[in-house]
Structure 1
């Protein structure tokens, strides 16, 4: 069930990323944030209620609420045109917690690929904090590109690998590939983002929306 939720996380990250890039109207992203935020509330609740007291299952499921609350927060901000600083500081909380979940995946769950993926998410949510919480509009285009790419790399691809049963066979190579891809691509995006003007994307978060 978590894999199904992850698939649609890819969709909302992609949509929110292209919103930050100025390719779609900000308000048009609100419905998907409501849909995926709601799904990511139901999924961990189901996993926790059916865990039969398994501490590792409950621990892993608890991390999903970080994202469901983010998407619902985004949806509310977009719909009611709220200031984005509160969301930005929540993203700082998510980023710090994501580092902890990364370590848990490396050392407790023996899942290096998701250890790397959680680091991806820590980086992305740190960008959201700087963009929204610290109001650094200049990184909006870079953040949008990182967000859109992560929708495919950290959610859509892993979800299909999990759903098709391929994931367990390529865990370590996937972790290495993701680590190399992230460093190379996200560094390469920096000069691109600096050369490109940041679009004036009106977003009901006061500054920009987030993913």
Structure 2
């Protein structure tokens, strides 16, 4: 996914976090989800047309579709006030695929930073499965995790990439941030599950 696309993943996650926290109306968030979803589907289609069988370009483009179809599905579900079970079950499938993307980043590309980011996305999609597919009331917890991930997995990495600094971020810093994120998630879960 290109830096601009990743930047706007941060934006839509940021907005969706406020939806989950009950701060904005679902139809309002739906419009932005549709904008970003269309962007993350149309541009990858154009890339695929020019891919000429490049397997890694196709692989990366397929990853972008995971996001695009998620946002389109969320957008239409919220706009038309549909049952969210379909989004939840799709999120389970995407969570499993995101684990595979994480492993490929770790093991094939030796990219620790995006290996961590993909596993964080897998966790978030897993939360969407529990919330929307299984109908467990974890919206506040999921909202806070979405808010944090909007910055850690998308906005900040994309911004640093656009200004040419991302490659200077050390793997050790990424691992430290991943550990801190895990601790914050545990604290958030305990705090929100007691309310």
TM over 0.5: yes
C-alpha distance 177-51 of structure 1, shift in aligned 2 (>3 A):
farther
Equivalent residue runs for 1:1-211 within 5 Å = 2-137=2-137, 139-196=138-195
Residue deviations 1:141-174, cap 9 Å, x none? 1011101111111000010111111112224134
Once structures 1 and 2 are overlaid, which stretch shifts more, 173-182 or 13-22?
173-182
Q: 2: CA distance between counterparts of 1:92 and 1:61?
A: 20
Q: 2: CA distance between counterparts of 1:135 and 1:111?
A: 35
8 Å Cα contact 1:111/1:171 also seen in 2: no
Q: 2: CA distance between counterparts of 1:110 and 1:48?
A: 25
Question: Which secondary structure does the structure 2 equivalent of 1:59 belong to?
Answer: helix
Offset at residue 89 of structure 1 (A): 0.3
Aligned length: 195
Normalising by structure 2, report the TM-score.
Answer: 0.94
Structure 2 residue runs of 5 or longer lacking an equivalent are: none
C-alpha distance 117-44 of structure 1, shift in aligned 2 (>3 A):
same
Q: 1: CA distance between counterparts of 2:119 and 2:166?
A: 18
Normalising by structure 1, report the TM-score.
Answer: 0.87
Structure 1 residue runs of 5 or longer lacking an equivalent are: 197-211
8 Å Cα contact 1:99/1:118 also seen in 2: yes
Q: Name the structure, 1 or 2, with higher relative contact order (CA <8 Å, separation 6+).
A: 1
Q: 2: CA distance between counterparts of 1:77 and 1:183?
A: 30
Offset at residue 17 of structure 1 (A): 0.9
Offset at residue 84 of structure 1 (A): 0.6
Offset at residue 73 of structure 1 (A): 0.4
Q: 1: CA distance between counterparts of 2:50 and 2:170?
A: 26
Q: 2: CA distance between counterparts of 1:87 and 1:66?
A: 12
**C-alpha RMSD of matched pairs (Å):** 1.5
C-alpha distance 174-50 of structure 1, shift in aligned 2 (>3 A):
farther
